[in-house]
Amino acid sequence: MIIAITALKGGVGKTTTAVHLAAYFQTLAPTLLIDADKNRSALVWSKEDKLSFYVASQAGAPGLITKFTHIIIDTQARPEPEELEDLAAGSDMLILPTTPNHLDLDTTVKAVELLKPLNANYKVLLTKVDSRTKNSRDAKKFLEEARLPIFRAEIPLLVAFQRSPSLGVTVKDYPDRRAKIGWYRYQDVGKEIEQVMSQISS
């Protein structure tokens, strides 16, 4: 299965989502994370060799792809519409992370407008959700009213997500009790992806 994580905006949790979903799918079958972003954030995250899955650059990926059951692609900050088209055609599912901020939600609606005519299989993931804020509470309603397909699971705003890259680990292995909540939510997202894919193939 090929899953691409994309958004028209940076800072919405693409790399964080790619890394944690790769960790989830690695628990099921060999998983490769392709870092297609020029910033190479996922490759830097993996430098200490503490991640459970393999990370390759786009240039390094072709020879490896056949060795893995699942491929997760972390894409660059601002893809051109053509790149979005290529991603939609080349993957089984697109994941569009967005924070509850108005601007990010607005940009997500624009991304979906581009994807709709492509018949792409996509789903929006709310990230950095702080349930104490009105913004966060309103975001899900906004997405539902805009009739965008969204994951039931939402990713909470947690310090562990900010700190785990410098330790080279996922929040699953981050030494803080609340970090586990973040890992459970990404597990939930992984399970929803499995459900979607099994519905498609049946």
Ligand X SMILES: Nc1ncnc2c1ncn2[C@@H]1O[C@H](COP(=O)(O)OP(=O)(O)O)[C@@H](O)[C@H]1O
Residue 179 touches ligand X, criterion: CB under 6 A: no
Residue 128 touches ligand X, criterion: CB under 6 A: yes
Q: How far is the CB of 96 from Mg ion (least distance, A)?
A: 13
Taking CA atoms, 188 is separated from 38, 65, 67, 83, 175, in Å, by: 29, 26, 26, 28, 21
Helix (H, G, I), strand (E, B) or coil at 3: strand
Binding mask 14-33 for ligand X (x = CB under 6 A): xxx-----------------
Q: How far is the CB of 14 from Mg ion (least distance, A)?
A: 5
Beginning with the edge strand found earlier in the chain, give each strand of the sheet holding 54-57 in spatial order: 54-57, 31-35, 70-74, 2-5, 93-98, 122-126
Region of 10-18, 118-126, 146-154, 190-198 interacting with ligand X (CB under 6 A): 10-18
Q: How far is the CB of 175 from ligand X (least distance, A)?
A: 16
The residues that touch Mg ion, with contacts defined as CB under 5 A, are 14-15, 41
Sole binder of ligand X in the list 3, 4, 8, 13 (CB under 6 A): 13
Comparing C-alpha atoms, which of 161, 41, 51 is closest to residue 99?
Answer: 161
The total number of residues shown for the chain amounts to 202
Q: How far is the CB of 41 from Mg ion (least distance, A)?
A: 5
At what angle are helices 14-26 and 179-201 packed, to 10 degrees?
70
